[in-house]
Structure 1
Amino acid sequence: MDDIPQILVTLGAIFLLGLFTDLLGRRTFLPRVTLLLLAGFVIGPAGFNVLPDFREDWFPVVTNIALSMVGFLIGHHLTLRSLKKREKPVLWISIGEVVGAAAAMFLGLLLMGFPPEIALLLAGIAPASDPVATIDVIREVKGQGEFSQTLESVVGIDDAWGLIVFSFLLAMAQALYGKGEGWDIVLLGIWEIGGALLLGLLLSIPMAYLTGRLQPGEPTQVEALGIVFLCGGMAVWLHVSFIVAGMMLGATVSNLATHHRRPFTAIEGIEWPFMVLFFILAGASLELESLRAASVLGLAYILLRLLGLVGGAWVGGIISEVPHVWRR
C-alpha cells in the first residue's frame, strides 16, 4: 500500500512529460518519439535516476500492450483489397530490408574478423524492428496517402520475416558452435509465427461478430480493448509473437466485420498514453555503460544494420517499381 502514492505520482509525471514532449515536437523538427526517448534517458538510471525501481517491472507489461495495439492497427491495412493493390511493394521492400540487414551484418562482421558464430547471431538479430516508432511518426504527421499505408504494412510484415531469419541463423550458429543441430530453434520460430497467426485468427472470429452488433462508442471501445489485451496476454502465455497475433487479429476483423472501422478508431483513441509510457520507459532502460563496453562491435552493428536496412529497402523498391520519390 505504501507504493500507491509513488506509483500515481510517477504515472502522472510521465504523462505530463509526454504532453510536454508532444507540444515541443509540434514546434521543432524533432519527432515526438525521439523526444520521448531522450526524456526517458534523462530521467532514467543513465541520467538523473529519478524513476522508481519498479519501472523495470512495468516495462515488459507496457511493451506487450503497446505492441499488441500497434499490431492490431497495422492489421487494419492488411485487407485483401489493400494487399492486392500493394502486394509487390509490401512483399519486396519487406523482404529486401530483412535480407539486406542480415546479409550486410554477416558479411561486414566477417570482413572485420569476427567469428562466424557471432556474425550469424548478430545477423539474425539485425532485421528486428520496432514498428511502434514508425507508426507513431506516421500518426504525428497525419500520413494517409499511399506511401504511408504501404509503409505501415511493410513495418508489420517485416517483423514476421525477421523472426524466420532469426530462427534459421540462430540454428546455424548453434550448429557451428557445436551445440547440436539447432532444429529445435527452427521449430520454435515456426511455432512463434504459426501459433501467433492461429491465435489472432481464433480471437478475431468473435470480435468480428460483435463489432457489427455493438453500439459505437464506449461498448465498442471496451470490446476492442478487452480482446486486444486478451490477445497480447495469451500470446505471451503461449510463447508466440504478440505483434504478429495482433496483426492477424486486426487483419481478419478488417476483412470480415461489418462496421469494421469502429474497433480501430476505439484503439487509436486510447493508445497514446500507452505509447508515452512505452517510449519513456524504453529511453530509461538505455544503459550507457553497455554502449561503451560494446565499442567497436556496437558501432559496427549500428552502421551495418543501417546500411543493410536502407540498401535492402531501396533494392526492394526498385524490384517492385515504386515511384522514384518513395525510394528517396
Structure 2
Amino acid sequence: MAALFTLSICLLSGLLMSRLAKKLGLPAVTAYLIAGLLLGPFCIGSLGVEGLGFASLEQVSAYNAISQAALGFIAFAIGNEFRLQQLRQMGRAAIIIGILQAVLTTALVDVVLLGLHFWKPELISAAAALTLGAIAAATAPAATLMVVRQYKADGPLTRLLLLVVAIDDAVGLVLFAVSFGVASALTSGAVSVVSVVVEPLVEIALSLGLGVLMGLLLDRLERYFHSRSKRLSISVGCVALTVAVSSAEFTVGGVHCGFSLLLVCMMMSTVFCNICDFSEELMGRVDGWTTPLFVLFFVLSGAELDLTILKDPAVLLLGVAYIVSRSAGKYLGAFGSAALCGCSPETRNYLGITLLPQAGVALGMALTAQSLPGDGSMVRSIILFSVLVYELVGPTLTKWALLAAGEIRPEGKTSARKKNA
C-alpha cells in the first residue's frame, strides 16, 4: 500500500503544481518536473517520511516500469503522425531535417569538447568528448508531445516537429553507436566493426520489424471487438505487451541484439494507423486514458534529477559547454536544413528551439557510456546536468517557439490557428 500511497501523492502533487504553473504562464510539464524535484531525495524525500516522497534515487528507480510504459505510449502517440497523407506532404523534409540537424549537432559538440580536450587534456578526454557529441543528437519526445497537447498546437511547424522528433531517435542510435565505438577504441586500442556498424543497424531493423508485427497484431485483435471500452483495453494491453517485449536482449553469433522501445512503439502505431479504418477515433480515446500516466512519468523524472552533480566545478563547466554547443547545433542544423527544404520562415526560425528538450533517450545512452573506462562517470554526470537544465527550461522554450510561430493561440483560447501545410 505504501507504493500506491506514493504514486497518489506524485499524481496529486503534479496536478496541483500545474495550477500554479498556469498562473505563471509555464507549461504543465515544467510543473510536473518541479513537483518531482520537490518530492525527490534532495527535498521532501530527505525527511524520511515513508510514502511521502523518495528518500533515495534507488526508490525512484523502483518505479521504472511506469516510466517505461509511459515512454511506450508517448512513442505510440507520435507514430500516429506518420499517416500516409502526412508523409506525402512533409515526409521528405522530415527525413532530411531529422538527419542533418542531428549530424550537425554531434559535429559541433565534438568540435567544442575536443577543443577543450586539446586545451586542457586533464579536463576531458577525447573519448568522453566523442561520446557526449553523439548523445547530443538525441531529443526527448515526451516533453514536446505534452506541450503540443496542452496548448492544442497545430500547423506546419508542429506537424513537422513531431515527425522530426520521431526520426531523431533512429539517427541518434546510429550516431551514438558509431561514436561510442570509436571512443571505446581510443581507450582500448581496438576498433570493433560489429559494435560500430552491425549492432546499431541490427537494433534498428529488429525494432522496425517488431513494430510492424505488433501493429498488424493490434489491428487484427481490434477487429474482434466492437465496444469502445474493449477496443481501448486491447490497445492499452498491446502497447504494454510491446513495451515488455522491447526490453528483451540476446546475442546471436557474437552480435548483441536488442530493441529500441521508442522505435518499436512508433512503428507499431504507424502500421496500425495506416491500415485500420477506425484508428483515428481509437487513438483519441487512448490519448485521454494516458494523461495520468504521463503526469506520473514527468513527476518521477523530476524526482530522478540528481542535484549532487552541481557540487563539481568541472561538471558545471563542461555541462555549460555541452549545453551551449548542443543548443547552437540544434538551432543552426534545423534552420539550415529547413531552409534547404524550402520550409516557411516560421519553421526555419523556430524548429530548432523546439528540439532542445533532452531526457530519457540521452539518459539511456549515458547509462551505456558508463562502461567507458575512466570516463563513464564524467559523461553521465554531464548528461545529468544537461537534462536538469533542458527538462526545466525546454518545455517553456517549446511553448514560446510555437506561440511565436502562430501555432498556439494566446492563453484562454481552446484551439490553435490552422495554417496551410
**TM score, norm. by length of structure 1:** 0.93
2:101–2:329 Cα contact (<8 Å) kept: yes
Q: Once the 2 structures are TM-superposed, how far is the Cα of residue 327 of structure 1 from its aligned partner?
A: 1.9
Could you list the per-position Cα deviations for residues 20-75 of structure 1 after superposition, in whole angstroms to 9, with x for gaps in the alignment? 13323333311111111111112211222242456433442122111110111111
Structure 2 residue corresponding to 1:209, chosen from 204, 220, 225:
220
Q: Once the 2 structures are TM-superposed, how far is the Cα of residue 255 of structure 1 from its aligned partner?
A: 1.0
SS in 1 for 2:247: helix
SS in 2 for 1:106: helix
**1:105 and 2:105 correspond:** no
Q: Once the 2 structures are TM-superposed, how far is the Cα of residue 300 of structure 1 from its aligned partner?
A: 1.2
Instruction: Give the whole-Å Cα distance in 2 for the aligned partners of 1:280 and 1:117.
Output: 33
2:11–2:299 Cα contact (<8 Å) kept: no
Structure 2 residue corresponding to 1:306, chosen from 327, 343, 356:
327
CA RMSD of aligned residues (A): 1.7
Instruction: Give the whole-Å Cα distance in 1 for the aligned partners of 2:38 and 2:208.
Output: 38
Aligned residues between the structures: 324
1:224–1:266 Cα contact (<8 Å) kept: no
Partner amino acid for 1:173? A
Q: Once the 2 structures are TM-superposed, how far is the Cα of residue 179 of structure 1 from its aligned partner?
A: 4.6
Instruction: Give the whole-Å Cα distance in 2 for the aligned partners of 1:231 and 1:244.
Output: 11
Partner amino acid for 2:108? A
Instruction: State which drifts further: 37-46 or 257-266.
Output: 257-266
SS in 2 for 1:286: coil
Q: Once the 2 structures are TM-superposed, how far is the Cα of residue 76 of structure 1 from its aligned partner?
A: 0.8
Partner amino acid for 1:57? S
Q: Give the equivalent residue in structure 2 for 1:165.
A: 175
Q: Once the 2 structures are TM-superposed, how far is the Cα of residue 213 of structure 1 from its aligned partner?
A: 4.7
**1:280 and 2:276 correspond:** no
**1:43 and 2:62 correspond:** no
Partner amino acid for 2:289? I
Could you list the per-position Cα deviations for residues 77-123 of structure 1 after superposition, in whole angstroms to 9, with x for gaps in the alignment? 11222111102331122123211220111000112224321211111
Instruction: Give the whole-Å Cα distance in 2 for the aligned partners of 1:8 and 1:189.
Output: 38
Aligned 1:13-32 pairs, distance under 5 A: 13-32=9-28
Instruction: Give the whole-Å Cα distance in 1 for the aligned partners of 2:342 and 2:20.
Output: 38
2:60–2:303 Cα contact (<8 Å) kept: no
Higher RCO, 1 vs 2 (CA within 8 Å, ≥6 residues apart): 1
Could you list the per-position Cα deviations for residues 245-276 of structure 1 after superposition, in whole angstroms to 9, with x for gaps in the alignment? 00000000011112121331232011111111
Instruction: Give the whole-Å Cα distance in 1 for the aligned partners of 2:202 and 2:347.
Output: 35
Could you list the per-position Cα deviations for residues 2-33 of structure 1 after superposition, in whole angstroms to 9, with x for gaps in the alignment? xx1x2222122111112213323333311111
Q: Once the 2 structures are TM-superposed, how far is the Cα of residue 220 of structure 1 from its aligned partner?
A: 1.1
Could you list the per-position Cα deviations for residues 257-309 of structure 1 after superposition, in whole angstroms to 9, with x for gaps in the alignment? 12121331232011111111111111111111123321211221121111111
**1:90 and 2:94 correspond:** yes
Q: Give the equivalent residue in structure 1 for 2:383.
A: none
1:55–1:281 Cα contact (<8 Å) kept: no
SS in 2 for 1:193: helix
Structure 1 residue corresponding to 2:147, chosen from 123, 137, 143:
137
Q: Give the equivalent residue in structure 2 for 1:228.
A: 239
Structure 2 residue corresponding to 1:174, chosen from 176, 180, 184:
184
Residues 64 and 317 (structure 1), Cα distance of their counterparts in 2 relative to 1, 3 Å cut:
same
Partner amino acid for 2:230? P
Could you list the per-position Cα deviations for residues 219-265 of structure 1 after superposition, in whole angstroms to 9, with x for gaps in the alignment? 11111001101111100124311110000000000111121213312
Structure 2 residue corresponding to 1:123, chosen from 133, 137, 144:
133
Q: Percent identity?
A: 28
Instruction: State which drifts further: 245-254 or 60-69.
Output: 60-69
Q: Once the 2 structures are TM-superposed, how far is the Cα of residue 152 of structure 1 from its aligned partner?
A: 1.0
2:105–2:329 Cα contact (<8 Å) kept: yes
2:40–2:302 Cα contact (<8 Å) kept: yes
Instruction: Give the whole-Å Cα distance in 1 for the aligned partners of 2:34 and 2:54.
Output: 18
Instruction: Give the whole-Å Cα distance in 1 for the aligned partners of 2:204 and 2:63.
Output: 23
Q: Give the equivalent residue in structure 2 for 1:68.
A: 72
Partner amino acid for 2:25? F
Q: Give the equivalent residue in structure 2 for 1:252.
A: 271
Instruction: Give the whole-Å Cα distance in 2 for the aligned partners of 1:191 and 1:17.
Output: 42
Runs of 4+ in 1 over 6 A off after TM superposition: none
Instruction: Give the whole-Å Cα distance in 2 for the aligned partners of 1:60 and 1:93.
Output: 32
Instruction: Give the whole-Å Cα distance in 2 for the aligned partners of 1:59 and 1:95.
Output: 33
Instruction: Give the whole-Å Cα distance in 2 for the aligned partners of 1:185 and 1:267.
Output: 37
**TM score, norm. by length of structure 2:** 0.73
1:204–1:252 Cα contact (<8 Å) kept: yes
Q: Once the 2 structures are TM-superposed, how far is the Cα of residue 212 of structure 1 from its aligned partner?
A: 4.3
Partner amino acid for 1:269? G
Instruction: Give the whole-Å Cα distance in 2 for the aligned partners of 1:92 and 1:216.
Output: 41
Partner amino acid for 2:13? L
Partner amino acid for 2:152? K
